[in-house]
Structure 1
């Protein structure tokens, strides 16, 4: 009995420390959404960023491959057909982006049907929406349902704020892009539903040139955490 009480006491202390750490982190790092101006200059700044990263090559690229979540989620995206082969655990989902209900899936090589298929399709959509964003977010600043505006940054430069008012898994998410003088993206700050701390910053400075000339990120850093994009490929 004494051992159980001691374990409960230790558990309580650990939980208390974790809660305190999270609370402290929230007050230290949480930032309010900055004021912005909805002016024509925002679209020009967005176009400058797209030009810097050669968005025309992205439009011409048919296939993209990468992984996410420590390599647990693997992707092969056929942009031309609107299909994505997504693998995780023992599942493989051939996701139809235009008509999700037409998607198919296997579990350990066996075809999945009925309610289980619906659940897998929804999971695949959620994974794809999140994981592909970390690969191609700069190319999505003019997506349907986006609103662009300009924020004056502390260093006097202009930041590009993009809000996704519709679409995706979590509409309403906002990102503030910080750009080099030539428009090349260096990082963004996030105000998103899945992260309780507003304004966390993620780097976009580890770019690699693909075999077809397209520039794509190999990794991102959020504080001390690294998000690795795996073996990124782009080809036709």
Structure 2
């Protein structure tokens, strides 16, 4: 029994050593410091050009955006009502984005009254909506209240660094948007609290016009893996 325990312990230590080594290699290869640029008018002018390129005004006029994330969470977001219905398993939460405390939770079609299960369902809806909606409409959030912007110039190209100082689930996160010659986003590098490496890149591509009169990226990849957004639909 002692031999088996020692073998398991050695195996665990070897595995931990491999994982630590892999993390250090990744940190050396991928980790970047957040760049510093110019804030104020130059950064905001670039932000407005990006918003114009993705028809942000049409986005603000849309009635609903629907999508599914990871094949688990399904969303019916009613933008003009500041409300999103979040569906998963046997739950549905009518989440009020501006006044979360007024949100309503259901299980198997029955309304959940005040209590731990209701609170957990609303917290789940809020956390997942904040994350999952970002992967759908992030470029439209570059001028949100609680954001700061910096114009970054590198290799003769302009990039926009957006930092979320408040709001959402992880305030303090930063995204460095890369754009093409028409100011349409092509991807970003991120410095976020849930990832211990700085400057990890995600690509945004296959932009297609929606029924709402504004384009959305239909393909987002991260570490070479496609972000699982499906059934994306806009109701004008």
Q: Same fold (TM over 0.5)?
A: yes
1:48–1:183 Cα contact (<8 Å) kept: yes
Asked if 1:143 is matched to 2:144, the reply is: yes
Q: Measure the CA separation in 2 of the matches of 1:122 and 1:89.
A: 15
Show the counterpart of 1:132. Answer: 133
Show the counterpart of 1:85. Answer: 85
Asked if 1:46 is matched to 2:69, the reply is: no
Show the counterpart of 1:12. Answer: 13
Q: Deviations over 1:103-160 (max 9, x none)?
A: 111234443221221222122111111111111111111111111110112x211111
Aligned residues: 234
Q: CA deviation at 1:4?
A: 4.3
Q: Measure the CA separation in 2 of the matches of 1:219 and 1:106.
A: 32
Show the counterpart of 2:217. Answer: 217
Unaligned stretches of 5+ residues in structure 1: none
RMSD: 1.6
Show the counterpart of 1:184. Answer: 184
1:146–1:165 Cα contact (<8 Å) kept: yes
2:211–2:235 Cα contact (<8 Å) kept: yes
Q: Secondary structure at the match of 2:80?
A: coil
Q: Deviations over 1:148-178 (max 9, x none)?
A: 110112x211111111111111111111111
Which 4+ stretches in 1 moved above 6 angstroms? none
Q: Which moved more, 1:103-112 or 1:29-38?
A: 103-112
Q: Measure the CA separation in 2 of the matches of 1:189 and 1:39.
A: 21
Q: Which moved more, 1:47-56 or 1:17-26?
A: 17-26
Q: Deviations over 1:34-66 (max 9, x none)?
A: 111114111111111111111121011110011
Show the counterpart of 1:118. Answer: 119
Q: Measure the CA separation in 2 of the matches of 1:14 and 1:97.
A: 43
Q: Measure the CA separation in 2 of the matches of 1:231 and 1:217.
A: 13
Q: Which moved more, 1:140-149 or 1:115-124?
A: 115-124
1:218–1:228 Cα contact (<8 Å) kept: no
Show the counterpart of 2:58. Answer: 57
Asked if 1:200 is matched to 2:200, the reply is: yes
Q: Measure the CA separation in 1 of the matches of 2:208 and 2:106.
A: 33
Q: Measure the CA separation in 2 of the matches of 1:79 and 1:202.
A: 26
Q: Secondary structure at the match of 1:231?
A: strand
1:62–1:235 Cα contact (<8 Å) kept: yes
Q: Measure the CA separation in 2 of the matches of 1:127 and 1:234.
A: 20
Q: Deviations over 1:193-221 (max 9, x none)?
A: 11111111111113222233321122311
2:94–2:105 Cα contact (<8 Å) kept: yes
What's the TM-score once normalised by structure 1's chain length?
0.92
What's the TM-score once normalised by structure 2's chain length?
0.92
